Amino acid sequence: MVGAGPAGLSCGYAAARSGARTLVLDRATHPRYKTCGGGLIGTSLAAAGARVAVPVAERVHEAVFTLAGRRRLVRRTAEPLLSMVRREEFDATLCNAAADAGAVVRTARVRAVEQDPDGVTAVLADGERVTGRFLVGADGSAGVTARHVGVRCTDVDLGLELELAAPPALRDAWRGRLLIDWGPIPGSYGWVFPKDGVLTAGVIAERGTGDQTRAYLDRFLAQAGLGALERIQDSGHLTRCRAADSPLRRGRVIVAGDAAGLLEPWTREGISYALRSGALAGEAVAAGDAARYESAVEETLGAEMAAGRRLRAAFTRRPLAFHAALATPPGWRAFAAFCRGETTFATLLRRRAYSTALRLL
């Protein structure tokens, strides 16, 4: 496996547990900082919780929604909506689980991939060549394996994110609460997530709107009363969502997680997709059947992504309608059920009421 994030480590765990000799290569060692909101939906908790004790920093029971900083809407729930993790802790826990299952995790940079009918070779930065029967790429959307497979993406977004130090009074005010702002740039939104003393704040919008996105972040922080807080981390990243017909495999090389462009198109949630696609990849290569991975992804994650594309298209045109829908009992129940992992957007859109509402938008 190339990449030791949730996808690569899930793959390594699944393959090793199935009896395959497994090597995970990554250019950095754990624990390491990762730009990420760190909000785990119920689907992620179920996938990760089957093999590790998830290091939850905080659980969210209250959601505040705004529309470009206005029209404040507050919703509360007895059951947690999201469980917040610090990615350096979460990924390190997954790494330990993969190693305990029998996978070898090694620090090395992969600069090229070569393959023939009998195997695959990862060419390392120092010239060493590592060969195996299959290679799973989980090295991110801009990694070497995505290029090798020829992954094509339709939606590319710029995410800007900050880790903010919260003083005690502010920490108490944000405990168990998240903020989502439907942004002024078409398809954009901002977030504030609490993590037991640290606030993660960020915005995401279509690539090519960099100046507008940065201005949105500054305005969003000011509106949330967070503009003067100390910035512990300040980072940016691109998220890439695969085209519906993008390849998931080239010969003996398959891609999972961000490398495959697998994420929820509307919310850009990617951890659940990484955990699940990585596990599917590990099971497939351990069984010696790479084609099995393609069909499994299309049947499950592909259907969810198709629903997400419909939601994103409607949200981009009518953010006010989406905000208003959250004020209705059915709209809130649907959103909360998705967050808790009790349903998927694909399942919701198979119901006539939700599908009809979306068509009208």
pLDDT band at 339 (very low <50, low <70, confident <90, very high): very high
Q: Which of 116, 119, 143 lies closest to 130 in space, CA to CA?
A: 119
Angle at 239 (CA atoms; ends 145, 142), nearest 5 degrees? 25
| pLDDT surpassing 90 at residue 192 | yes
pLDDT in tens, 82-135: 999 999 999 999 999 999 999 999 999 999 999 998 899 999 999 999 999 999
Cα angle 264, 78, 183; round to 5: 40
218-255: pLDDT as tens digits: 999 999 999 999 999 999 999 999 999 999 999 999 99
pLDDT band at residue 196 under the 50/70/90 scheme: confident
Q: How far, CA to CA in Å, does 110 sit from each of 1, 120, 204, 288, 331?
A: 10, 13, 29, 23, 45
pLDDT of 145-182, one tens digit each? 999 999 999 999 999 999 999 999 899 999 999 999 99
State yes or no: pLDDT of 354 exceeds 90.
no
DSSP assignment of 221-273 equals HHHTT-TTS-EEEEEEEEEEEE-TT--SEETTEEE-GGGGT-S-TTT---HHH
Name the 3-class secondary structure at 217.
helix
Q: What residue spans in the chain does CATH classification 3.30.9.10 cover?
A: 155-237
pLDDT of residue 201: 97
Give me the pLDDT at residue 356, please.
81
Phi, psi of 256 (to 5 degrees): -140, 165
The pTM of this model reads 0.95
168: CB partners within 8 A, 6+ apart = none
Q: What are the angstrom distances between the C-alpha of 207 and each of 100, 185, 212?
A: 40, 11, 10
Contact 151, 261 (CB under 8 A): yes
Cα–Cα distance for residue pair 65/180, rounded to 1 Å: 5
pLDDT attached to residue 35: 78
pLDDT tens-digit series, residues 278-330? 999 999 999 999 999 999 999 999 999 999 999 999 999 999 999 999 999 99
pLDDT at residue 289, rounded to an integer: 94
Average pLDDT over residues 326-348: 94
In the chain, CATH 3.50.50.60 covers: 6-56+83-153+241-316
CA distance 1 to 20: 12
What is the end-to-end Cα distance of the chain in Å, rounded? 42
Q: What is the CATH number of domain 6-56+83-153+241-316?
A: 3.50.50.60
Average pLDDT score, the chain: 95
Q: Please determine, for residue 33, whether its predicted confidence score (pLDDT) is greater than 90.
A: no
**CA-derived radius of gyration, the chain:** 20
pLDDT value of position 353: 79
CATH dotted code for 155-237: 3.30.9.10
For residue 22, pLDDT over 80 is answered with yes
